[in-house]
Structure 1
Amino acid sequence: MAATAKSTSFYPEYRPHGRAHSPLVIPTHRRVETFAALIHCSSMLLLPCLYFFLWTREAFWPFLITYTIFSYILDDTQSMGNSIYRTSSWFKKQFIFRKFVDYFPRFLDKEEKIGPRYLFTAHPHGVISFGITAALLPSHTLKSSKSFRSLFPGISVHLLTLPTQFLIPFYRDYIMALGVGLVTKAGITSILRRNHSVAIVVGGAHESLFARPGMNRIVLNRRKGFIKLADVAIVPVYVYGENNVHKVYNTTEQPNGKNSKTLKTFLNLQLLLKKYTGFTLPLVNSRSIFNYDFGLLPYKRRMDVITGKPIYIYRMFNNSIGDKVTEEEINYYHEMYKANLIELWEKNKSFATEWDEKLKIVE
């Protein structure tokens, strides 16, 4: 059961077999899973590096010029919802992604059977939202009990992300091949109109600053935009253990109440970056390939992805379909959503560790 009184500072260190360094002899499948996690986590850096490296080779210039013009001037795939046609089942079935999914021991469960057109809203954000990503990643052709699609047959779900992700050369094509779309109103509605479902991480970049082991703090009170999509059902999703796979230095709270100018300055920089780019950079230290106490790779800890009961949205307070969504309706369903999310947490809190604090809506 989840602890309610223990401080998250007591969360145990990640020391498999009591070691700080990875042993030389380790099962091959573990090494391969770690390598797959490394490749996927580094893709945002490796792929643009490859793009700029190819510019140093004249033979690739015709391809690069064509690619650049098409990607940044002509291509409106993600904004028009056409990213669903760029999804590649063949690509998602590749060995590297199967092993990345297996890197996190996981259990996936649902509370109720649902249909083909829903808005899945995941919590918490974590540093990179590995839980919901790995749950949606396997193609429907895989025979995996860890696959979202194996539990929800017939439902095609696309994870949505920030527009800035689609500005990164080669990486934009990489994530679209994995079924990722654009998390804007136009991007969401265009996919829903095609009878596909979407998944978003509601807390956003600001919530990543709370991604510390043992923490279950989410940003929700001021996140109401997803409620405005009044013609779909909303399905809350909670990923137990999402915040436990990275060690994030907390800049949002001062230790022992001390007024640290350094922490305040860094927090202001993080918030400034979030304001102008949509994302921020938490201070992360986790593990690497050869040691367990320093690096940027996520810890190999269990994550449990639990989907709740759908909240069906109907027009209320004498409003009809086609009328503008009112603040009264938004607040009504937002309160209902918060109540359902808390109920989901309480009902399934056995998936939390004994070191995890209770779910808290902090903002």
Structure 2
Amino acid sequence: MKIDFAPSNLPIVRRLQTAVVLLWVFSFLALAPLCVVLFLCLLFTRFWLISVLYAIWWYVDWDTPSRGGRKVQVLCKMRMWEHMRDYFPIKLVKTADLDPRQNYVLGFHPHGILVAGAFTNFCTEATGFSKLFPGLKRNLLMLPLWFRAPFFRDYIMSAGLVPSDKESASYLLQSKGVGNAVVIAVGGAPEALDARPGVYIVHLANKKGFVKFAIEHGASLVPVYSFGENEVFDQVENPRGTWLRYIQERLQRIMGVSLPLFHARGVFQYSFGLMPYRKPINTVVGRPIKVEKKEKPSAEDLDNVHQLYMDELAQLFEEHKRNYGVPEDSHLVFQ
């Protein structure tokens, strides 16, 4: 295989962009297990006190992730995230105002491989979320598994990430007043197994938990579609019915995380590696869907609001697909 090496005379700004994205990919793929290994290894060295003191802190601070986390605004506003934004580039597109006197549940689609659009738009200020939606505070939900990793839990909480369980999300809407937006990658880990260029599959047909959650809290639902999210990585073919897909789905049910076999480019060459392609991601925030608050919504309530949400998401996709290079004959596929 011929290797396509990157030019040696690339501008420094492009090198900075690559460095920041490399750090982000490393954090997503390897930092959590490395933090666990570090915590355990320190116990058998002369620095054992670090792990012991952290264990005490961890015990005292155990409930913080499910109590709104510990977002550090200074870190979210760092210049480095602008380099990540410009690497692809990533853009946040507003289609309607979101009243800060209300609470919202934002459904993010599709999950993609590493949810680059969700992180950049909703965990940093690189794309100007606070300017587009003034007065609105947002938190991105992440698998609770990652908050059980020492050191790593503090790292992801600083970006505004909170566990994706009902207790954590409810706290944000019940105890933080109004002007809160909970961002949920609705398709979750299973949807990542369908993430590849040219595919517009969203796992939503049987996903009603987030709808029930929104009705119970009287929070408006907002569909969000991130055009280009599936384009930044290739994935090994794994159609349903193959042994690879069977193993991936079994591991996902056991571990809670999916393991897509993805690849793209490298740091110093463009032929292979785990770095995402430089392809644009345009995250379009749709119109809010107001729901009537009910502590115990009926099955009919859930079906009606769920269907309305799917219709709004499909319409959002159809209205904007021409702007972002999606073929005219391509449509959302709900699974």
**TM more than 0.5:** yes
Do structure 1's residue 270 and structure 2's residue 248 form an aligned pair? Answer: yes
Aligned-residue offset at 1:346: 0.8
Aligned-residue offset at 1:362: 3.8
Partner of 1:241: 228
Partner of 2:287: 309
Partner of 2:63: 76
Give a deviation string over 1:152-197, Cα, whole Å, max 9, x none. 0110110011111112222211110000011111111111121322
Cα 1:31–1:351 change in 2 (3 A) is same
In the alignment, which of 268, 275, 287 is matched to residue 265 of structure 2?
287
In the alignment, which of 24, 27, 31 is matched to residue 40 of structure 1?
24
Is the contact between residue 112 and residue 229 of structure 2 (CA under 8 Å) also seen in structure 1? yes
Aligned-residue offset at 1:105: 1.1
In the alignment, which of 109, 118, 125 is matched to residue 123 of structure 1?
109
In the alignment, which of 334, 346, 354 is matched to residue 318 of structure 2?
346
In the alignment, which of 149, 172, 186 is matched to residue 202 of structure 1?
186
In the alignment, which of 148, 155, 164 is matched to residue 174 of structure 1?
155
Cα 1:357–1:298 change in 2 (3 A) is farther
Q: Distance in 2 between matches of 1:181 and 1:293?
A: 36
- Calculate the TM-score normalised by the size of structure 2: 0.90
Q: Distance in 2 between matches of 1:360 and 1:47?
A: 34
Q: Distance in 2 between matches of 1:354 and 1:232?
A: 31
Q: Distance in 1 between matches of 2:329 and 2:148?
A: 37
Partner of 1:161: 142
SS in 2 for 1:300: coil
Aligned-residue offset at 1:325: 1.2
In the alignment, which of 122, 143, 160 is matched to residue 136 of structure 1?
122
Partner of 1:361: 333
Partner of 1:21: 5
Aligned-residue offset at 1:279: 1.2
Give a deviation string over 1:74-110, Cα, whole Å, max 9, x none. 511122x231xx1001122334333223222133211
Query: Which residue type is aligned with residue 208 of structure 2?
Result: K
Aligned-residue offset at 1:49: 2.2
Instruction: Answer with 86-95 or 151-160: which moved more.
Output: 86-95
Q: Distance in 2 between matches of 1:354 and 1:226?
A: 28
SS in 1 for 2:197: coil
Partner of 2:302: 330
Cα 1:226–1:50 change in 2 (3 A) is closer
Is the contact between residue 240 and residue 351 of structure 1 (CA under 8 Å) also seen in structure 2? no
Is the contact between residue 215 and residue 356 of structure 1 (CA under 8 Å) also seen in structure 2? no
Unaligned runs of 5+ in 1: 1-18, 255-263, 316-320
Q: Percent identity?
A: 32
Aligned pairs, how many? 323
Query: Which residue type is aligned with residue 142 of structure 2?
Result: T
Cα 1:100–1:107 change in 2 (3 A) is closer
Is the contact between residue 120 and residue 200 of structure 1 (CA under 8 Å) also seen in structure 2? yes
Cα 1:91–1:354 change in 2 (3 A) is closer
Partner of 2:45: 58
Give a deviation string over 1:300-340, Cα, whole Å, max 9, x none. 1100010111010115xxxxx44x11111000000000100
Is the contact between residue 136 and residue 149 of structure 1 (CA under 8 Å) also seen in structure 2? no
Query: Which residue type is aligned with residue 160 of structure 2?
Result: G
Cα 1:356–1:65 change in 2 (3 A) is farther
Q: Distance in 1 between matches of 2:17 and 2:328?
A: 26
Give a deviation string over 1:229-276, Cα, whole Å, max 9, x none. 21110100000000000001121257xxxxxxxxx2221211111112
Unaligned runs of 5+ in 2: none
Q: Distance in 1 between matches of 2:80 and 2:313?
A: 33
Aligned-residue offset at 1:52: 3.0
Query: Which residue type is aligned with residue 165 of structure 1?
Result: W
Cα 1:279–1:359 change in 2 (3 A) is farther
Cα 1:50–1:78 change in 2 (3 A) is closer
Aligned-residue offset at 1:212: 0.6
Q: Distance in 2 between matches of 1:331 and 1:273?
A: 30
Is the contact between residue 218 and residue 361 of structure 1 (CA under 8 Å) also seen in structure 2? yes
Partner of 1:150: 131
Query: Which residue type is aligned with residue 147 of structure 2?
Result: F
Q: Distance in 2 between matches of 1:357 and 1:204?
A: 26
Q: Distance in 1 between matches of 2:144 and 2:165?
A: 8
Q: Distance in 1 between matches of 2:259 and 2:56?
A: 30
Query: Which residue type is aligned with residue 119 of structure 2?
Result: T
Do structure 1's residue 218 and structure 2's residue 202 form an aligned pair? Answer: yes
Give a deviation string over 1:114-160, Cα, whole Å, max 9, x none. 12321111100000111111112324xxxx6x222220011011001
Is the contact between residue 214 and residue 243 of structure 1 (CA under 8 Å) also seen in structure 2? yes
Is the contact between residue 35 and residue 149 of structure 2 (CA under 8 Å) also seen in structure 1? no
Higher relative contact order (CA 8 A, sep 6+): 1
- Calculate the TM-score normalised by the size of structure 1: 0.83
